[in-house]
Amino acid sequence: MKAWLAGVGTTFFVPDLRLGAILSLGLLVTAPRSAAFAVLGAIWCELLGRALKPNKQLTLSGAFPLNGFFAGLAVATLFTGTGAMIAFAPTVMLAAVFVVLLPRLLTAWQLPGLVTLYVFATWLVWTARHGAAALTAAAYTPPPAVADPWLALAQGTASGLAQIFFQSDWRLGAGAGVALLAVRWRTGAILVAGSFLGGVVASLVGAPLANVAAGHYGFAPALAALGAVACLTSPSQPPMRRTLIVSVTALGAAWLTIALAGPLYVLGLPALALPYMLALWAGLLLRPVVAATAWGDSGAAIPAPSWK
């Protein structure tokens, strides 16, 4: 139970049991079916991780329950009826295997796996539905129309936080924001700002207001901004430089969300957390280049990010 709650909090780079409990409770109230899949996924992935017997650091990192939690959410969202029940087991099992195997590849570039591991697992099972009639996909329900761009932006800022949990209910997003502000106010403020920025970028490029209001463009920049704070900045940097790094990373995630929509649609794959992770990885790969410029750290050391 402790590993699961800490794993949920790790979504926001805060392995806090209180935060994990609050967010899980909010999800249970607003989307009980998704919450059930998520909780079972987190617990089972943790048990599978212990059975696989990786190193102690990996076991204690929270990566197993974190990816199991989101694998369960993805299954509950993408599949329906018995299809979700059938897809659940292989998705969580693959997520556990990827948690063990993929970090060995990613650490060569000092890249964190985070929730990318459940993305690959979900993609494999989602693609397999074409050859398995029992894997029934859930019907897509378009978001309700919104005419006022300011209302869409305000609602989308909250909904963007809810989309982290595969929900579009702005009340869940608002609750998550309040919980984060209560536990770690800087974390909450960064998430809200990132979600708002994503909505602004989408509105400027002419994205449908209904999708903006549903938070489709907010969750990736929100998490990318938070990831940038954790992995790309250090307290020794001037505040303006840290703000610039975080803003550029969030903008990159916003752009990737829009740019990848077409190619992923053609491939028949859901974006999931891909735009967020690609933006963060780009920042990590470019960090040595930035450090060699006038915007570098002038010798200030940024701890290497954990893979998890």
Residue range of the domain that includes 75: 2-131
Task: Name the β-bridge partners of 244.
Answer: none
Same domain, 75 and 196: no
Has residue 210 been placed in a domain? yes
Has residue 190 been placed in a domain? yes
Question: SS3 helix, strand, coil % of the chain, rounded to 5?
Answer: 70, 0, 25
pLDDT score recorded for residue 297: 52
Per-residue confidence in pLDDT tens, the chain, 308 aa: 655 565 666 666 666 667 767 777 777 888 899 989 998 998 899 889 888 877 777 666 778 888 999 999 999 999 998 899 999 999 999 999 998 888 777 777 777 777 888 999 999 999 998 878 778 888 788 888 898 999 999 999 999 999 988 988 888 888 888 877 887 788 889 999 999 999 999 999 999 999 999 999 999 999 999 889 888 888 888 888 889 999 999 999 999 999 999 999 899 999 999 999 999 999 888 877 666 555 555 434 444 444 33
Same domain, 114 and 166: no
> Could you tell me the pTM of the whole model?
0.85
Same domain, 125 and 236: no
The total number of structural domains in the chain stands at 2
Has residue 118 been placed in a domain? yes
Residue with tokens 């990159």: 252
Has residue 229 been placed in a domain? yes
pLDDT score recorded for residue 300: 41
pLDDT score recorded for residue 75: 95
Please count the CA atoms within 13 angstroms of the CA of 272 that sit on its side-chain side.
25
Residue 96, domain CATH: 1.10.3430.10
Has residue 308 been placed in a domain? no
Has residue 144 been placed in a domain? no
Same domain, 224 and 265: yes
Same domain, 113 and 183: no
Domain boundary among 102, 131, 160: 131
Same domain, 12 and 115: yes
Same domain, 62 and 120: yes
Same domain, 91 and 160: no
Same domain, 51 and 123: yes
Q: Provide the strand spans (E) within the chain.
A: none
How is 276-287 classified by DSSP, letter by letter? HHHHHHHHHHHH
Has residue 138 been placed in a domain? no
Nearest CA among 228, 218, 226 for reference residue 164: 218
Side chain identity, residue 71: A
Same domain, 183 and 247: yes
Same domain, 186 and 265: yes
Rounded CA gap, 32 and 67, in Å? 19
Same domain, 161 and 283: yes
CA-to-CA dists, residue 183 to 15, 21, 59, angstroms:
11, 12, 25
- Alpha helices by DSSP H, listed for 129-169, are 149-163
pLDDT score recorded for residue 206: 92
Has residue 242 been placed in a domain? yes
Tell me how far apart the terminal alpha carbons of the chain are, to the nearest angstrom. 19
